[in-house]
Structure 1
Amino acid sequence: MRSYNLNVLDLEVSFKAEADPSRVERAKKLVEERYNKLNFPGRQISKEKLLTFLVLGLADDLLQSDRKLEVLNRRMEMLVEKIDGGNI
């Protein structure tokens, strides 16, 4: 397991993970990009609220991806059943 020490949005974080460095860097970049989209000049929202919006957006993305994956898995199972049954 690798140890990571990152500066993300001016916050120092240390953690251990089995993810490779490029994956960690892509995740960091995604968080920073999404944060910067929410934190435009003139907006009077605390960092905590912005981070909450960011987390909710990422959680929604994950839930949507899980739902899409579930639909695709069901479709694949149906196709396998058709193939096994000789219906194609």
Structure 2
Amino acid sequence: MPSYTLEVLGLEVSFKAKADHTQVLKAKELLEERYRELAQHGRRLSKEKLLTFLALGLADDLLQNREKLEELDGKLTSLLSKIDKGGT
């Protein structure tokens, strides 16, 4: 498992992850982009509060995407079932 050391939002973090280097950098860029967006509208909120809002936003995105994936999985299962039955 690859090891990484990155500076994220001014903090140096070291960790191991199964993700490849490109994916890790994309995740870092997403965090920093979302943080900047929140900070612009945060009106002097503390870094801790901004990070909490960031975590909540990302968690909400994850939950919504899981729900969409479950819906798509159900539709795909239904379509495959119809195909298996001869399209009726």
TM over 0.5: yes
Question: Structure 2: how far apart are the matches of 1:32 and 1:67?
Answer: 26
Give CA-to-partner distance per residue, 1:27-48, whole Å, 9 cap, x none: 0000000000010178220000
Could you tell me which runs of 5 or more consecutive residues in structure 1 were left unpaired when the two chains were aligned: none
Question: Structure 2: how far apart are the matches of 1:82 and 1:41?
Answer: 49
Which aligned runs of 4 or more in structure 1 are off by greater than 4 angstroms?
none
What amino acid maps onto 2:45 in structure 1? Answer: I
Does residue 59 of the first structure (1) align with residue 63 of the second (2)? no
Identical pairs, percent: 60
Could you tell me which runs of 5 or more consecutive residues in structure 2 were left unpaired when the two chains were aligned: none
Aligned residues of 2:5 and 2:12 also touching (Cα < 8 A):
yes
Structure 1 counterpart of 2:79: 79
Q: How many residues align?
A: 88
Shift of the alpha carbon at 1:12?
0.8
What amino acid maps onto 1:26 in structure 2? Answer: K
Does residue 17 of the first structure (1) align with residue 17 of the second (2)? yes
CA root-mean-square deviation: 1.4
Structure 2 counterpart of 1:2: 2
Cα distance change of structure 1 residues 16 and 56 upon mapping to structure 2, 3 Å threshold: same
